[in-house]
Structure 1
Amino acid sequence: MKRFIVFLFAFLSYSHLAVSQEKEYTSVIYPEDYTVQVDVAYTEVNDWVGYMDLYIKPNDTTPTPIVINIHGGGWRSGNKESQTSLSTFFKNGYAVANVAYRLADMAPAPAAIEDVRCALIYIHKHAKALNIDTSKIVLMGGSAGGHLALMAGFLGNNKQFDTNCPNTENIKIAAIIDKYGITDLSPLAYWKSANNWLSLNNTDAAFVKSVSPINYVSYKSPPVFIAHGTADPIVPYMQSVILYKKLKANRVKTELLTLRKGKHGKFTKKQNILLSKSIWKFLNKLGI
């Protein structure tokens, strides 16, 4: 019996160690001159801890640009570990932050916005230690992640969603990469994901407007690259067209890449190559 108890204790201890080691594993392939920090806590709300994975170049002689990458999933699914296609950013010397945020089943709107803002503020506050150039911060996301990237970027120094992370930083975003993101929630009341995320506020017109990026566009907005497929069955293509036109009307640097017959993130190989080239052409024009 004693031997069984000793064996069981040893097995459980080994299992716990194995789980801990597995948690530290990342499937992102990054260059040797990068350092990875997995599950960095950027905020804490009640019993929930917000984590991000950081891929940085701490030994570079000059601070590096960074892309803050936000996963999609209709605000109700997805995780930061799914974001592995980052090689072009590494090739261009960018640091990368993969951000997790509270999903709808844990906390409804505006929780996800609050979390992404906290992640952005964390990057600003720790920029020196992370060797980050705060004048070259890019926000990127697809679908719900595109919506959150737009919200976090358009808010700028508007602190209305910074309750969980008091902010004294001068927030300035160099660019936003919005891939088929939701720009206006007002006409999407029928969409199940929007209803789930908005929860009890889904009929509150003022609240819905407050979490819709389109309502924050001004001449001070950061440059925005937009990509959207014309056959998107989830987020209407016109959401991006309307955002593009409003940005142009406010003389904000912007580009809309229209992907003919492209669906919701499901593009052809040729379209994905064009998308990548177009993003870098846009960022290079901005000098980021």
Structure 2
Amino acid sequence: MKETRIYKQIDNCSISADIYYQGTDTPVILYIHSGALIFGTREWLPTAQIEYLTNAGFSLVNIDYRLAPETKFEIIIEDIRDAIEWVRTKAIEWYDFDIDNIAVMGSSAGGYLSLLTGTMDYKPKAIISFYGYGDILGTWYTEPSEYYCKKPMISRSKAIENIGFEETTDGKWDRIDFYYYCRQQGVWVQEVTKMDPNYDLNKLMQYNPINNISNDYPPTLFLHGDQDTDVPYEQSVKMYEKLKGIGIETKLITIEGADHVFDHDFEDPKVQGAFIEVVDFLKTHLCK
């Protein structure tokens, strides 16, 4: 059963989480949705995945967060920190799940944010990244995308038609034009972070997971299609190799022939197999 609660209130912006509580002392998965920090919503998490994870014995907290460009990049990161803190300190007023065993899971930009939690003061017990990325400063994001440039070009005026002035967590699909513009021009970093890699490199590197891996980085599972047209497969490979190189427990599951958002085809045998490994990984690190 789902319960929705506001985990953070800022002025006129309420930020919500859906809680799927599975009982006393159950370990917790905090899920972060995709959308390049520009669009998307917690409602994107497929029911099939929710049921699979909760049936495996995990309580699930599926969060929204404020979106760019209306909300500053650093504040978006703050929302993620606050969501984890809410689970650990406030949500236990209603749910007696096991706050000592929390995993963070996300897809695409949610995967990026999940990987970033491994660099924070409070670190989850495990991280699951579905086609996420650990390097926002790579050329894949800072230069025009060959893939997106083959699509109809989006002018800046068109891109900002559905971007507003008030902060929002409601990442309606029509905001994707702003993302297309960013990828076609190679300006995602500038538009989303309001920082320029040429002048603000040191500050940006603070938010670049691959540059901030420590010896206490959590065990991490990567899942990525090797034909991903949005986030290069190599993004997971590089993070995996970096973690493995310093002795962090990690695993990379390559979905052969798969593009972005492969996990939404939940009936695919490859996806079914991948989720068996996801649950095994989570049980290994959260159910000791």
The alignment's TM-score, normalised by the length of structure 1, stands at 0.76
Matched with 1:37 is: 3
Matched with 1:215 is: 211
* Alignment counterpart, residue 75 of structure 1, candidates 37, 51, 54: 37
How many aligned residue pairs are there?
236
Greater Rg by CA: 1
| Structure 1 residue 184 displacement after superposition | 0.4
Greater CA drift, 188-197 or 133-142: 188-197
Cα distance between partner residues in 1 of 2:52 and 2:282? 12
Letter matched to residue 102 of structure 2: I
Matched with 2:147 is: none
* Coordinate RMSD, CA, aligned: 1.9
**1:131 aligned onto 2:96:** yes
Query: Aligned residues: percent identity?
Result: 29
Cα distance between partner residues in 1 of 2:66 and 2:212? 23
* Alignment counterpart, residue 106 of structure 2, candidates 112, 118, 141: 141
* Alignment counterpart, residue 153 of structure 1, candidates 118, 121, 139: 118
Preserved CA contact (<8 Å) 1:151 1:212: yes
Task: Flag the 1:144–1:126 CA change in 2: closer, same or farther, 3 A.
Answer: same
Give 3-state SS (helix, strand or coil) of 2:118's partner: helix
Preserved CA contact (<8 Å) 1:37 1:55: yes
**1:263 aligned onto 2:259:** yes
* Alignment counterpart, residue 194 of structure 2, candidates 199, 216, 232: 199
**Where do 1:34-183 residues align within 5 Å?**
36-38=2-4, 40-57=5-22, 60=23, 62-83=24-45, 84=47, 85-126=49-90, 128-129=92-93, 130-155=95-120, 157=121, 171-183=122-134
**Where do 1:10-29 residues align within 5 Å?**
none
Task: Flag the 1:287–1:50 CA change in 2: closer, same or farther, 3 A.
Answer: closer
Task: Flag the 1:287–1:247 CA change in 2: closer, same or farther, 3 A.
Answer: same
Preserved CA contact (<8 Å) 2:27 2:286: no
| Structure 1 residue 286 displacement after superposition | 2.6
Matched with 2:282 is: 283
Preserved CA contact (<8 Å) 1:127 1:134: no
Q: Gaps spanning 5+ residues in structure 1: where?
A: 1-29, 31-35, 158-170
| Structure 1 residue 279 displacement after superposition | 0.7
* Alignment counterpart, residue 190 of structure 1, candidates 136, 143, 154: 143
Cα distance between partner residues in 1 of 2:107 and 2:278? 13
Letter matched to residue 212 of structure 1: N
| Structure 1 residue 51 displacement after superposition | 1.3
**CA-to-partner distance for each residue in 1:171-211, whole Å, 9 max, x for gaps?**
34111010111210111212626333123445421222111
Give 3-state SS (helix, strand or coil) of 2:215's partner: coil
Cα distance between partner residues in 1 of 2:130 and 2:238? 14
Cα distance between partner residues in 2 of 1:96 and 1:235? 26
Matched with 1:232 is: 228
Cα distance between partner residues in 2 of 1:144 and 1:92? 25
Preserved CA contact (<8 Å) 2:226 2:259: yes
Return structure 1 stretches of 4+ with deviation > 6 angstroms. none
| Structure 1 residue 127 displacement after superposition | 5.2
Cα distance between partner residues in 2 of 1:207 and 1:137? 28
Give 3-state SS (helix, strand or coil) of 1:247's partner: helix
Preserved CA contact (<8 Å) 2:227 2:258: yes
**CA-to-partner distance for each residue in 1:101-148, whole Å, 9 max, x for gaps?**
011132131222111111000011125322121221010000000011
Cα distance between partner residues in 1 of 2:21 and 2:9? 23
Letter matched to residue 16 of structure 2: Y
Cα distance between partner residues in 1 of 2:107 and 2:92? 28
Report which structure shows greater RCO (CA 8 Å, sep ≥6).
Answer: 2
Cα distance between partner residues in 2 of 1:82 and 1:180? 15
